[in-house]
Amino acid sequence: MPTPQPVTADDIALARDEFLADRANTVAKNAVTSSGIRAAARVPEGVAANPLTFDIEVKQGKRCDQQRSGRCWMFASLNTMRYRIIQRYNLETFELSQAYPLFWDKLEKSNWFLENILDTLDEPLDGRLVAYLLTDPIGDGGQWDMFKSLVKKYGVCPKEAMPETACSRNTSEMDSYLTRYLRGAAKRLRESAAAGVSADDLAALKRTMVGEVYRLLVTCLGEPPARFDVRLRDRDHKLVLSDSFTPQEFFEHVVDMNVDDYVSLISAPTADKPFGHVYTVSRLGNVVEDGGVRYLNLPIERLKQVAIAQLRDNLPVWFGCDVAQSYLRDEGIMDTAALNVDALFGFAVEDCMDRAERLDYGESLMTHAMVLEGVNLNADGEPTLWKVENSWGADHGRDGFDTLSDAWFDEYVYQVVVDKKYLTDDERATYETEEPRVLAPWDPMGSLACVR
């Protein structure tokens, strides 16, 4: 172990002299202090390589806006589902309620959290596992498999049947109070167990707690509809649907999507996750009876191939990525060539680690879910640019759309969800039959899409 060395006056003088010796450093300083790092590192030629016309393209309805919530994974999932309704009924646009799955996700996550507390009563309170469980019991984030569990149990409904509220548009207050309640509930359960309360009485106490969570959620979000009427008119103003549905009936008959056919593929090239195997994440999920998440880990090229195959069949693709990396947010451009931060600083900052190293050292993980709705291909049929529907409203990017370069895909896309029919026979058999390898709760592949 080297002897600790302080920063000396000589070290500082040397660093200052080296900085002043190159005029590029002064130019960079003036630009960054005036406009910020990304604005100063913006490469106009890279930006110009991001048009919004595509060889293969899925046409979607009007943009949706998650506002000040971390529901991107819900919006992305619902956007893949509403597309089917728009196409089936020839609609101009359509929107499914995002407040409806938010309600049930918070309730189910609360139950999931309390079950985990009961399952870890023998773990020390200051141990890593219990501390992790208490960190963010019911955050807004999620994954495709968690949304699949929600719609299979609760269905979906049109936005009019359960519109947004102040607490769904901005979830921070509701999340804060619900988190405080659940931490208090965890305290009560652990103290009751320590005092010798029976397992049956602990289970009864937990049921009471879930009932109180329901009361809090109804207060914040309103009561979810048990049945609703639907009337839809197509682009020609012809009435194409007029009926009454439960949310489960609406999902079955109107969305008409077998969510069990859709599988989650990840690409994590780290030494602890060999490609071609199935993984799950310990204690990650929401609906207790449906279990947790299930991934098949494949090389990034396979994720691209299956995504293109689904787009060719005129179906959008749910995907998860680390959205903040090399991103010009206002312009809606995810492109490693559109920013040159390393040239700005004069040494490797963005390029100091590769994809696997960023995962291993905590620099990157999935933070946001969106929808792939188009792709450009070169003469060899290889992707060059992807069209992305975001969930930040029509004022974001270009009419709510982003672009994603294929080089950016290589670095920062971690997950796609596609129909399993696009997998090879061997891949499908592995996904369906292999016993999953269990990752730690804090593994980067257990991150939840939650960017606001």
Q: Which residues are catalytic?
A: 72, 368, 390
User: Tokens 């956007």 identify what position?
Assistant: 79
Q: Which pairing describes strands 317-321 and 228-233: parallel, antiparallel, or unpaired?
A: unpaired
Which residues make Cβ contacts (< 8 Å) with residue 73, sequence separation at least 6? 141, 142, 143, 144, 146, 147, 320, 369, 448, 449, 450
- Crossing angle of the two packed helices 144-154 and 72-89, in degrees rounded to 10: 60
| Number of Cβ atoms within 10 Å of the Cβ of 112 | 22
- Which value, in Å, is the radius of gyration of the alpha carbons in the chain? 24
Q: Quick check: 150 and 108 in contact, CB under 8 A?
A: yes
Residue 118 identity (one-letter amino acid): L
Q: Is 329 helix (H, G, I), strand (E, B) or coil?
A: coil
Provide the strand spans (E) within 145-300. Answer: 228-233, 239-245, 262-266, 278-281, 295-297
Strand partners, 233: 239
Helix or strand (DSSP H, E) at 188 = helix 172-194
- Crossing angle of the two packed helices 99-119 and 128-135, in degrees rounded to 10: 160
* Euclidean distance between CA atoms 129 and 120, whole angstroms: 8
Q: Quick check: 105 and 146 in contact, CB under 8 A?
A: yes
Q: Is 268 helix (H, G, I), strand (E, B) or coil?
A: coil
Which residues make Cβ contacts (< 8 Å) with residue 227, sequence separation at least 6? 244, 245, 246
* Euclidean distance between CA atoms 210 and 178, whole angstroms: 11
